[in-house]
Amino acid sequence: MATRLALVDDDQNILTSVALALEAEGYEVDTYFDGEQALAGLMRRPAALAILDIKMPRMDGTELLGKIRQKSAMPVIFLTSKDDELDEALGLSLGADDYITKPFSQRLLLARIRAVLRRAGGQAPLSESNDTIAQGDLLLDPDRHLCSWKGDEVKLTVTEFLLLQALALRPGHVKSRDQLMDAAYGDDIFLEDRTIDSHIKRIRRKFRAHDNLFDRIETLYGIGYKYKPDA
Amino acid sequence: MATRLALVDDDQNILTSVALALEAEGYEVDTYFDGEQALAGLMRRPAALAILDIKMPRMDGTELLGKIRQKSAMPVIFLTSKDDELDEALGLSLGADDYITKPFSQRLLLARIRAVLRRAGGQAPLSESNDTIAQGDLLLDPDRHLCSWKGDEVKLTVTEFLLLQALALRPGHVKSRDQLMDAAYGDDIFLEDRTIDSHIKRIRRKFRAHDNLFDRIETLYGIGYKYKPDA
DNA sequence: AATCTCTGCCTCAATCCTGCCGCGATCCTG
DNA sequence: CAGGATCGCGGCAGGATTGAGGCAGAGATT
């Protein structure tokens, strides 16, 4: 069930350390240290995504990408050195799905991998979906920034919308305050936990203004919040 | 319950001020001022996350990271000076989870710490699994923090949930109070044995409120408890 | 410039959780 | 069977967590 990634780089350090990191994230990783080896390996063990260093001896990344593209539409992410931007242009025009300049953080790499895999369509885009959410009486349309409860429009601010969206995306699933913070602001912002409570309070208040029995946002003491699905 | 962080920096000012800030946030912080000391300390007091300065006398951050990686997959955040980008490349491709360039805001540091811990925590769940447990009439879904008996929802607190999960994970197997304590709190906490009894009492009571014949949690005199599987 | 809105956070009171104690009942061991 | 160990249960008090109101600053709007 684990997604298999192919990692190609001639620098042994990068190869092993990045592989370790990815495996820690639950991916299976096949490592190759040059293009020819990678090409051969990919025939036998196809991967969901390939991560290629551009500069490699014997067969460089762009050439490898070309060969891969002859046989498969497998998503590809390029690794490039920071200073040679030419490579980026080259790689992308050749059909890479994304690129990352060294140095890169593990966080960035993971984000790109997830994004590319998501775009590639295999996985359910649960986290970032822009789709309308219709959970019983609740309707959330991100594109129109529209929220309604039992037909009545409920005016939410951006933050409130994002939080409710995160909750309603997986009805019944518990979200910690940290997770909600991620959903509304992203990784790099730290706020008081209790700020989430404040927003939840405001969301509840707005919904109760339309339906004073509204109780779909449940508090789980010591854990977080969840959106209760229809019974 | 407090998460322990390891902070390694040769600058005493940074060491103490950052440590203070982190402690104010509720973390336990072990501080070390060089790599060797840190390595020794980490053996005895393992931390959930290490924050390493890259430039240090005797053993620098990357070297320390290497040594740490030989023994553990502990998440690591690097601190780097803004001007030497080389360090970043080196550290990150070596397997650090993230990096922060000095000077950094406390807010960013906290955000990164949380993000890394979250990722790490999700990956390596302390106990056995995050899967739903379905044992006959019992249903335990950690993601939803949902517990039901014969279809009825039974509302459990976090501690109760963890204990029941530990028991139900291996139906028929005896769990000592110590083992249950580990499952619910981790192995860093000492509590009165009888406290487990109290929780078991409350779990039983809650289940009996739905089914007064409930007797699946069996007491093994002098040993512990076990969850009785279906006959 | 004068509002208005959004938002993060603070305070206070109410509620919930939990560790532990004591008592009586039960269970083993010799 | 007696004595001691162990356990179930009620209850309590402190601590942790949460809901609600409110406030001030930053931006946006008028």
With contacts defined as CB-CB under 8 Å, which chain B residues touch A188?
Answer: 108, 111-112, 115
* pLDDT tens digit sequence for A11-29: 777 777 788 778 767 788 8
- Indicate whether A111 and A186 sit together in one domain: no
Answer whether residue B61 shows pLDDT above 60. yes
Q: What angle do CA B115, A199, B161 make, to 5 degrees?
A: 60
As beta bridge partners, residue B228 has none
What pLDDT score does B72 carry?
A: 79
Cβ B215 vs Cβ B137: under 8 Å: no
Q: Measure, in angstroms, how far nucleotide C5 C1' is from residue A163 CA.
A: 19
- Indicate whether A80 and A8 sit together in one domain: yes
* pLDDT tens digit sequence for B93-123: 556 777 777 667 777 788 888 888 877 654 4
Q: Measure, in angstroms, how far nucleotide D30 C1' is from residue A203 CA.
A: 27
Quote the mean pLDDT of chain B. 84
Answer whether residue B210 shows pLDDT above 70. yes
Q: Measure, in angstroms, how far nucleotide C22 C1' is from residue B177 CA.
A: 21
- Indicate whether A183 and A158 sit together in one domain: yes
Asked if residue A127 belongs to a domain, the reply is no
- Indicate whether B163 and B193 sit together in one domain: yes
Answer whether residue A128 shows pLDDT above 50. no
Mean pLDDT throughout B40-48? Answer: 87
Chain B residue nearest residue A182, CA to CA: B115
What pLDDT score does A126 carry?
A: 34
Chain A residue nearest residue B94, CA to CA: A17
With contacts defined as CB-CB under 8 Å, which chain B residues touch A82?
Answer: 85
Cβ A25 vs Cβ B123: under 8 Å: yes
Cβ of residue B145 lies below 7 Å from strand D? no
Cβ–Cβ of A187/B85 closer than 8 Å? no
Better pLDDT: B226 or A71? B226
Q: What is the CA radius of gyration of chain A?
A: 22
With bands split at pLDDT 50, 70 and 90, how would you rate the model's confidence at A93? very low
Q: CA dist B167 to A180, B170, B213, B227, B229, Å?
A: 30, 6, 19, 5, 10
Lookup: tokens for B86: 């080389």
- Indicate whether A172 and A202 sit together in one domain: yes
Answer whether residue B71 shows pLDDT above 70. yes
A179 phi-psi bin (left φ>0, alpha ψ -120 to 50, beta other)? alpha
Answer whether residue A125 shows pLDDT above 70. no
Answer whether residue A210 shows pLDDT above 70. yes
- Domain CATH for A149: 1.10.10.10
End position of a domain, from candidates B121, B144, B163: B121
Asked if residue A33 belongs to a domain, the reply is yes
Lookup: tokens for B123: 């990956």
One-letter amino acid identity for B194? R
* pLDDT tens digit sequence for B140-183: 999 999 999 999 999 999 999 999 999 999 999 999 999 999 99
End position of a domain, from candidates B121, B148, B171: B121
What pLDDT score does B195 carry?
A: 96
With bands split at pLDDT 50, 70 and 90, how would you rate the model's confidence at B128? very low
Asked if residue B230 belongs to a domain, the reply is no
Instruction: Name, of A57-66, A196-205, B50-59, the range with top average pLDDT.
Output: A196-205
Mean pLDDT throughout B207-215? Answer: 94
- Indicate whether B17 and B100 sit together in one domain: yes
Measured to protein CB atoms, the chain C nucleotides within 7 Å are 5-11, 16-22, 27-29
Answer whether residue A187 shows pLDDT above 70. yes
Instruction: Name, of A86-90, A225-229, B39-43, B61-65, the range with top average pLDDT.
Output: A225-229
Cβ of residue B107 lies below 7 Å from strand D? no
- Indicate whether A186 and A221 sit together in one domain: yes
Question: pTM (2 decimals)?
Answer: 0.70
- Indicate whether B96 and B159 sit together in one domain: no
Asked if residue A214 belongs to a domain, the reply is yes
Asked if residue A231 belongs to a domain, the reply is no
- Indicate whether B201 and B152 sit together in one domain: yes
Measured to protein CB atoms, the chain D nucleotides within 7 Å are 5-11, 16-22
* pLDDT tens digit sequence for B7-26: 999 888 888 888 888 887 88
Among A28-37, A155-164, B122-131, whose mean pLDDT is lowest? B122-131
Cβ of residue A222 lies below 7 Å from strand D? yes
With bands split at pLDDT 50, 70 and 90, how would you rate the model's confidence at A152? very high
Mean pLDDT throughout B192-221? Answer: 96
pLDDT above 70 as % of chain A: 79
- Indicate whether B139 and B204 sit together in one domain: yes
- Indicate whether B47 and B104 sit together in one domain: yes
Chain B residue nearest residue A25, CA to CA: B123
Asked if residue B204 belongs to a domain, the reply is yes
- Give the list of residues 6+ apart from residue A108 with CB closer than 8 angstroms, or none: A100
What pLDDT score does A91 carry?
A: 47
Better pLDDT: A110 or B92? A110
Asked if residue B231 belongs to a domain, the reply is no
- Indicate whether A174 and A82 sit together in one domain: no
Q: Tokens 């029941």 appear where? A: B164
Asked if residue B128 belongs to a domain, the reply is no
What pLDDT score does A95 carry?
A: 59
Answer whether residue A212 shows pLDDT above 70. yes
Which of A7, A17, A175 to mutate against chain B (most B CBs within 10 Å)? A17
Dist CA B106 CA B115 (whole Å):
14
Instruction: Tell me the angle at which helices B61-71 and B35-44 cross, rounded to the nearest 10 degrees.
Output: 20
Quote the mean pLDDT of chain A. 80
Domain that holds residue A18: 4-121
Nearest nucleotide to the CA of A221, by C1', is: D17
Number of domains chain A contains: 2
End position of a domain, from candidates B61, B93, B121: B121
Whose CA is nearest the C1' atom of nucleotide D20? A201
- Domain CATH for A79: 3.40.50.2300
Footprint of strand C on the protein (CB under 7 A): A 155, 157-160, 185, 191-192, 194-195, 198-199, 202, 221-222; B 157-160, 185, 191-192, 194-195, 198-199, 202, 221-222
Dist CA B224 CA B177 (whole Å):
6
With bands split at pLDDT 50, 70 and 90, how would you rate the model's confidence at A166? very high
What pLDDT score does A118 carry?
A: 65
Chain A residue nearest residue B114, CA to CA: A178
* pLDDT tens digit sequence for A36-50: 778 777 777 778 888
Q: Measure, in angstroms, how far nucleotide D24 C1' is from residue A17 CA.
A: 48
